[in-house]
Structure 1
Amino acid sequence: MTNNIGKGFIHYKVTDPNDDPINPQSDTLRYGASVIQGKVWITFKKDMNIKLMKPLLISSFTTIDGREFNVHIVTVSKIWIDHNTLYNCEDGLLDVTRGSANVTISNNWFREQDKVILLGHDDGYVRDINMKVTFVYNHFGPNCNQRMPRIHHRYAHVANNLYLGWMQYVIDGSMGPSLKSESNLFIAPKCGSKEVTWRKIGHTNGDKWQFHSVRDAFENGASFEVTKGSVCQSQIIAKNKFFKLLMLNQ
C-alpha cells in the first residue's frame, strides 16, 4: 500500500457511523471506501461502531486507517482482512464480533500490543456461535502479550502463522471454543511463559473445549495443550524447524 502515500492521495475522514448500501452518504465509511475514486486514505473523527448493512466493496489504492481511535466493524460476513500492519492500540488491534462470520485474516503483521485479537463479543452473546474465522500467513510479534486470538463460542482455523515470542500466552478462549492450529511456528521467549494455549481453571462450558494441534512447530520450549472436552489430553513440546505449507481457500 506504499503507492497510497505521497502526492495525489485524498484524505477522507469518517464522521458518520451509519451505513446506507443503496445510497452511500458523504462522511460515511462506505462512501469513502466505495464511491471516491483514486488514492484514498481514510481516517476516523472519533471512536465509533460501524454496522455494515451489506458487504463493503473497497476500491483499489484505499487505506482504512484506524490507528488513532477504536473502530469496530460488526455483524458482517465473508470479509477478507489482508496485508495490514497493526500495532500500539489502546484496546485490541482487531475485534470480530456480534455475529460476524466467514472471516479470513491473512498476511498481516501484528506487533507491540497487549490484547491483540478478539473473536466474539462476550460470553453472553450467543449469535457468535456461528462465527468461523481463518488466520493464515500472519506474523505476530515482537512484543505481543496475549489473545492471538481469544475465541468466544465458536471456531478458528489458525494455519501457517509465525508467533515470535509472547508474554502471557498465544491462544485462549471461553464458552466451548474450537481451535485447529495447523502448521504454525511458535517461537517461545527465552524467559517467561512458554505456553501457547491458556485455559482458565473452572471456566464454564469446559466440557465443550476442542483445541487441536496438527503439524505445528515449536521452538525454545514452546508447549501446546491439546484439549478435548474438560480434559487436557496431552502437552506437545517439540523442536521442529520445518513445517508443511498449506494453501487454504475459504
Structure 2
Amino acid sequence: MAFTAPLTLTLNLILVTLSTTSCDPYYNYNKILNPIDSCWRAKSNNWATNRRALADCSVGFGKNAIGGKFGATYFVTDPSDDPTNPKPGTLRYGVIQPNPLWIVFARSMVITPKNELMISSYKTIDGRGAKVEIAYGPCITIQHASHVIIHGISIHDCRPGKSGLVRDSSIHVGHRRGSDGDGIDIFASTDIWIDHCYLSRCYDGLIDVIHASTDITISNNYFTQHDKVMLVGHDDQNYEDKAIKVTVAFNRFGPGLIQRMPSRVRLGYAHVANNRYDTWGMYAIGGSAYPTIFSEGNYFMAPYSPYIKQVTKRENKKNGWTNWKWRSYRDRFMNGAYFVPSGYGSIAPSYTRAQFFKVADGSMVPALTSDAGPLNCYPGRAC
C-alpha cells in the first residue's frame, strides 16, 4: 500500500562525527549529513570493507535500485575502449555482462568511450577510492535496463555517438544510430539511482529520463556549466510518460547553468527536494503537458537580472496550465526568486514506507548539499 508523505514534517538532522583511526586524529570532523549520506557514511570509518552497504541507502522513487549488490566485484584496470570487442578489465566489458556486478576501479583514470556506453541491468559503477572520469566521447546510455547504480564518477564533455555497431551484451552487437551527446540517457528503464556524480559541459543534456523510465532517484550530484541540464519526459504526445516518477534530491545546481533543473516532466511526476540552486540563466524548474511537480525544501538563489527571477516556466501554456499541479512547500527564495504555483488537490509523493524520507526546510540545504559531487574517499578513512 502506498504511503503518502504528510506535508508537516520535521527533519531530525543527523549530526555525526566522521573519524578515522587514532593514528589520524586530524581527520576527525563533524558534519550534518542528509538521509542518504548518513545511511552509509556515518556507519563505518572504513567504507571500503563494505562497499555494498551503499545499495541500501537510496531514498525516493529509486529506493529499490540494488545495482550489483548480489553479484561479484569487477575491477576496471584498463581505461581503453572498443565498442564491439571490449577487452576484459575495461569498463565496457563489465557493464555488458549478463550477471550482476559491483564495478570498482583499480586506479584513477579517464575513460573516453569510442561510442555510447550501454549499461545492462544489475550493475553498480562505484567510483569511490579513485578519480574516475568518463569524458570527451559518447557517454552513458541505460536502455531497457533495471537496477543500475552510478556513484562517485565525473561525466563531462560528452559528445554525440556515431552511427555504427555497438555491443550491448556479451552475446549481441547491434547497429546504433548515434547517441545525442547526453551525459546519462535513461531510456525505458526502471529502478535507477544516480548519486554523488559530477556532470558538466555535454553536447546535449546532462541527464535525460525518457520513454516511460520510472522509479528514478537523482541525488547528491554537482551540475555546472551547461545549458539543458535535466530532461524528464520525451514528447508531449507520448502518453506512456505518465508512468514517469523521479526524485531529484540533495543536488547542487552550481554556476553556469541555464535551464531544465529539471524540466518538461511531461505527464509524469517529479519530487524536487532539498536541492541548492546557485542562480540560472533562464529558469530552474519547467514543464509541459500536465506534469505534476512538488518543489519541497529547496534553496533558490535568483540571478541579479530582474527579468529571470521566476523559478518556474510553463511550456505550451495553451493546454490549461492553471490546472497543472505545481506546488512549493518550505522552499527558501533568495534575491527575489519566486515560484508560481498552480492546480489543486494533494501533490505529496505516493512513496512506500521504504521510499519515504524526511525533507528539511530550505534553510538547511547549503549544509545538506555541501558534499554534492564525487567524494574524496580513501580506504581506512571515513568518506
Sort the TM-score into its range (normalised by shorter chain). Answer: 0.7 to 0.9
Post-superposition offset of 1:193: 0.6
Are the structure 2 counterparts of residues 189 and 38 from structure 1 closer, same or farther at C-alpha, using a change threshold of 3 Å? Answer: closer
Indicate whether 1:175 and 2:292 are aligned: no
The structure number with the bigger radius of gyration is 2
SS in structure 2 of the partner of residue 129 of structure 1: helix
What code does the residue aligned with 1:58 have? T
Contact kept in structure 2, 1:177 and 1:208, CA below 8 Å = no
Per-residue CA deviation, residues 169-199 of structure 1 (Å, 9 max, x unaligned), is: 0111111000110000000011241000011
The two structures have a TM-score, normalised by structure 1, of 0.76
Equivalent position of 1:189 in the other structure:
303
The two structures have a TM-score, normalised by structure 2, of 0.51
Indicate whether 1:124 and 2:237 are aligned: yes
Are the structure 2 counterparts of residues 36 and 110 from structure 1 closer, same or farther at C-alpha, using a change threshold of 3 Å? Answer: closer
- The count of corresponding residues between Structure 1 and Structure 2 is 219
Indicate whether 1:158 and 2:294 are aligned: no
Q: List runs of 5+ in structure 1 lacking aligned partners.
A: 17-25, 230-239
Equivalent position of 1:58 in the other structure:
124
Post-superposition offset of 1:108: 0.3
Specify which structure has the higher proportion of strand.
1
Q: Among all aligned residue pairs of Structure 1 and Structure 2, give the percentage whose two residues are the same amino acid.
A: 36
Instruction: Pick from 137, 143, 153 the counterpart of residue 250 of structure 2.
Output: 137
Are the structure 2 counterparts of residues 204 and 137 from structure 1 closer, same or farther at C-alpha, using a change threshold of 3 Å? Answer: same
Are the structure 2 counterparts of residues 81 and 207 from structure 1 closer, same or farther at C-alpha, using a change threshold of 3 Å? Answer: same
Matches within 5 A, 1:74-113: 74-113=187-226
Contact kept in structure 2, 1:87 and 1:113, CA below 8 Å = yes
Instruction: Pick from 317, 337, 351 the counterpart of residue 222 of structure 1.
Output: 337
Distance in 1 between residues matched to 2:113 and 2:336, nearest whole Å:
42
Distance in 1 between residues matched to 2:251 and 2:223, nearest whole Å:
8
Are the structure 2 counterparts of residues 225 and 74 from structure 1 closer, same or farther at C-alpha, using a change threshold of 3 Å? Answer: same
Post-superposition offset of 1:51: 7.6
Q: List runs of 5+ in structure 2 lacking aligned partners.
A: 1-47, 49-75, 85-91, 140-155, 160-180, 345-360, 369-383
SS in structure 2 of the partner of residue 89 of structure 1: coil
Matches within 5 A, 1:207-246: 208-228=323-343, 242-243=363-364
Per-residue CA deviation, residues 26-46 of structure 1 (Å, 9 max, x unaligned), is: 757424993877537654213
Post-superposition offset of 1:11: 0.9
Instruction: Pick from 22, 44, 61 the counterpart of residue 113 of structure 2.
Output: 44
Contact kept in structure 1, 2:94 and 2:101, CA below 8 Å = no
Per-residue CA deviation, residues 38-65 of structure 1 (Å, 9 max, x unaligned), is: 537654213x48484xx33125448572
Are the structure 2 counterparts of residues 189 and 37 from structure 1 closer, same or farther at C-alpha, using a change threshold of 3 Å? Answer: closer
What code does the residue aligned with 2:243 have? N
Distance in 2 between residues matched to 1:200 and 1:154, nearest whole Å:
15
Backbone CA RMSD of aligned residues = 3.2
Indicate whether 1:15 and 2:83 are aligned: yes
Per-residue CA deviation, residues 54-84 of structure 1 (Å, 9 max, x unaligned), is: x331254485723333252311111110011
Higher relative contact order (CA 8 A, sep 6+): 2
SS in structure 1 of the partner of residue 223 of structure 2: strand
Indicate whether 1:114 and 2:227 are aligned: yes
SS in structure 1 of the partner of residue 241 of structure 2: helix
